Amino acid sequence: MKQETGKKRILSGMRPTGRLHLGHLLGALENWVKLQDEYECYYMVANWHALTDHLDTKDYQDNIYYIVRDWLAAGIDPAKSTVFVQSELREHSELYLLLSMLVPVPWLERCTTFKEKVRDMHIGKADISYGLLGYPVLQAADIMMYKANAVPVGEDQLPHLELTREIARRFNYFYGEVFPEPQGLLAPTSKLLGLDGQKKMGKSYDNYISLDETPQETAKKVQGMFTDPARIKLSDPGHPHLCNVFTYCTLFGPKDAPAALRGDCAASRIGCTDCKKRLAGYVEKFLAPIQEKQKHWTRDKVRDILNEGAVKAGKMARATMDEVRQAMKIA
Ligand code: ATP
Ligand code: MG
């Protein structure tokens, strides 16, 4: 299908496994917003993907609402971008099935994200679902459905994108040139560490500040952050370059905050508790404009946007599937 706007295309998604957090904003969402003018953008709530490790679906509908509300509050513009829910486009499941026939199992087993997931979930081989192993194939189907040329992602998703390129290449080799090989577009902060300073900030890790956190919750979470381990007493000089709280100050504070703070910390003029109070204030200010806009996006408004998005995405998805069935000679 010809690109209607002549622009290159993007697809990206997030899973409705919880509330959006600062990592999403810096690692993906800010980039998504910027890309809207340059690309034809498809932004998807990946609810089938959520099932791979969250079988309890009772919060899915709420999470879908909050996620899309936050996308809109952060600047995703439905007049420019197509916003939809994965499961409302059944074509994705058909492409997933067809692609799954092309993917050797070892490609999936050696995927670092798969190995990490199995380790984090503390499950043995007998408990690994077919769906979890197939996660990158479903992701490839989502991306390829819109013939996306680029996928804005965080660093954790790069191995999946490499697999998508291999799957696209393999499809084109067997059935003719149908799919482009998408490139990853990394945001400047492609991995925001969580409050624990260990893992990436993630909604499943309980180490996050969500985009709708109240000032009180933010202050409490920030107070619990680890700081420079070598600084025990207030009089010990700090090492800001090793401190997660300092990194957050550089990301969420005003432009001149890091230089002043670096000096004060290294010369023990400011203690960690005060530094965290400052950070809580920065984060609160940083989130205020988004939180103001969140109020505008009611459930009805979000539902209307998702309905429109499903119609727009459906046109593209049907066209791609016609082409795929023809190329594969499977009606
Ligand atoms: P889960 O823990 O359920 O996997 P998540 O917080 O990792 O949730 P996803 O929906 O898996 O969120 O990720 C959505 C997008 O946000 C992806 O592009 C991912 O790379 C990006 N992202 C998520 N967390 C971070 C982070 N801490 N830093 C940068 N980017 C991130
Ligand atoms: Mg994730």
Sole residue written with tokens 């998805």: 317
The reply to whether 35 and 180 lie within a common domain is yes
Q: Do 176 and 52 share a domain, yes or no?
A: yes
Contacts of 283-287 with CB under 8 Å at 24 or more apart are 283/22, 283/209, 283/213, 283/218, 283/222, 283/248, 283/252, 284/215, 284/218, 284/219, 286/252, 287/211, 287/213, 287/218
Q: Note whether 275 and 55 are within 8 A (CB).
A: no
Higher-confidence position of 324 and 242: 324
* Annotated binding residues for ATP: 15-17, 23-24, 154-156, 192, 200-204
> What is the spatial order of strands in the sheet that 150-153 belongs to?
81-85, 39-45, 8-14, 150-153, 183-186
Is the pLDDT at 188 greater than 80? The verdict is: no
Residue 203 has what pLDDT? 84
Taking the C-alpha atoms of 199, 205, 208 and 210 in order, what is their torsion angle to the nearest 10 degrees? 140
Nearest ligand by distance to the CA of 189: 1
Question: Scanning the structure block, which residue is given the tokens 């804005």?
Answer: 152
Q: Are residues 188 and 269 in the same domain?
A: no
CA of 1 to the centre of ligand 1 (A): 31
DSSP H or E segment with residue 238: none
Q: 219 with 136, same domain?
A: no
Predicted confidence (pLDDT) at residue 61 exceeds the cutoff of 70: yes
Is residue 1 scored above 60 in pLDDT?
A: no
Q: What confidence score (pLDDT) does residue 224 get?
A: 95
pLDDT at 4: 57
- At residue 14, the pLDDT reads 94
155 and 233, same domain (yes or no) = no
Active site annotation includes 80: no
For residue 196, count CB atoms less than 10 angstroms from its CB and return exposed for 0-12, middle for 13-18, buried for 19 or more.
Answer: middle
Q: 137 or 121: whose pLDDT is higher? A: 137
Tell me: do 23 and 161 sit in the same domain.
Answer: yes
Residues 109 and 223 both lie in one domain = no
**Residue 183 and residue 96 share a domain:** yes
Question: Which entry of 8, 58, 117, 233 is annotated as an active-site residue?
Answer: 117
pLDDT tens per residue, range 69-121: 999 999 999 999 999 999 999 999 999 999 999 999 999 999 998 998 899 88
CATH number, domain at 244?
1.10.240.10
Structure letter (DSSP) for residue 177? S
Q: Are 309 and 254 contained in the same domain? A: no
Structure tokens at 253: 């504070």
The mean of the pLDDT values for the chain is 93
Q: Are 35 and 185 in contact (CB under 8 A)?
A: yes
Look at residue 179 and tell me if it is in a domain.
Answer: yes
Q: Rounded to the nearest whole angstrom, what is the distance from the C-alpha of residue 48 to the centroid of ligand 2?
A: 13
- For residue 329, indicate whether it is catalytic: no
Count CB-CB contacts under 10 A for residue 182: 23
Q: How many domains does the chain have?
A: 2
Q: What percentage of residues in the chain have a pLDDT greater than 70?
A: 98
202: in domain: no
Residue range 216-226: average pLDDT?
Answer: 96
The whole-angstrom separation of Cα 172 and Cα 180 is: 9
> What is the model's pLDDT at position 51?
97
316 and 86 Cβ atoms separated by less than 8 Å: no
The pLDDT of residue 244 is 94
Cα 302–Cα 185–Cα 98 angle in degrees, nearest 5: 75
Mean pLDDT in residue range 24-30: 91
Q: Which residue has the higher pLDDT, 236 or 29?
A: 29
For the cut 70, the answer to whether the pLDDT of residue 208 exceeds it is yes
Q: What is the pLDDT of residues 313-322, one digit of tens each?
A: 999 999 999 9
Looking at per-residue pLDDT, the higher value among 232 and 288 belongs to 288
Lowest mean pLDDT among 99-108, 145-154, 184-193, 218-227: 184-193
Confidence check: pLDDT of 159 > 60? yes
Residues annotated within a binding site:
15-17, 23-24, 142, 154-156, 192, 200-204
**103 lies in the same domain as 74:** yes
Do 144 and 219 reside in the same domain of the chain?
no
Domain range enclosing 320: 9-192+298-327
Kindly tell me if the per-residue pLDDT of 331 is higher than 50. Answer: yes
Q: Which ligand is nearest to the CA of 24?
A: 1
Q: Is there a single domain that holds both residue 16 and residue 163?
A: yes
Cα distance between the two ends of the chain = 18
The residue whose CA has the least distance to atom 16 of ligand 1 is 24
